[in-house]
Amino acid sequence: MVISPVQLVRPQRFGDTRGWFTEVYSERAFTARGIACRFVQDNHSLSVHPFTLRGLHFQTPPHGQDKLVRCIRGRIFDVAVDVRKSSPTYGDWVGAELSAENGHQLFIPIGFAHGFVTLEPDCEVTYKCSDTYAPNADGGVRWDSAGIDWLMPAGTMPELSSKDTLLPRLADFDSPFVYDGCPLAPLA
């Protein structure tokens, strides 16, 4: 089985009458999965309205960011798009529903554009990053240029930031990311 560079992580929950406990990150456990980056920044966002779309974002080298994303309130559809030059899966995407209820996380390595759409009101998303925010390395591609099925009702226009409406289309993007020999595969 091919291990995808983008991985869906399903932390185990241990529950009893009080509720549950889960280990959301362990360097040892993630290294065993082939995820061996060092996280240096945590981000937290609140999206008030359903169908708020954030993305598709990345930071360019030398400030690329691996990300570990989870939804701690509500439900989102989280997506990663391969933007590594010369990758046989360039432009392909994978996505997963992340919710407070399921506790799943998505690991998105450097070389992938990341975005999500909220599926209900008042969604909170947290994510770890392997590099700090660098405004001069901030980049992205348009949310509607990679053929993503965003799981929105037909005819729905997402709520977007003004920044996201100005991003280039994937077809017009000259990628600075290098293919590492590991193609994108379906999420396991």
* pLDDT attached to residue 4: 87
Q: Average the pLDDT over 42-56 and give the result.
A: 98
pTM, whole model, 2 decimals? Answer: 0.96
* pLDDT attached to residue 59: 98
* Percent of the chain at pLDDT exceeding 70: 99
Residue 127 catalytic? yes
Q: What is the pLDDT of residues 137-156, one digit of tens each?
A: 999 999 999 999 999 999 99
Q: What is the pLDDT of residues 103-118, one digit of tens each?
A: 999 999 999 999 999 9
| Candidate list 25, 49, 127, 179, residue with the active-site label | 127
Q: Average the pLDDT over 82-100 and give the result.
A: 98
Which CATH architecture is the domain 7-178 placed in?
Sandwich (2.60)
| Candidate list 57, 63, 104, 114, residue with the active-site label | 57
The two structure tokens encoding residue 75: 């439900």
DSSP string, 102-171: T--EEEE-TTEEEEEEESSSSEEEEEEESS---GGGEEE--TTSS-----PPTTPPPB--HHHHTSPPGG
Residue 133 catalytic? no
Residue 106, judged by CB atoms within 10 A of its CB (0-12, 13-18, 19+), counts as buried
CA distance 27 to 38: 8
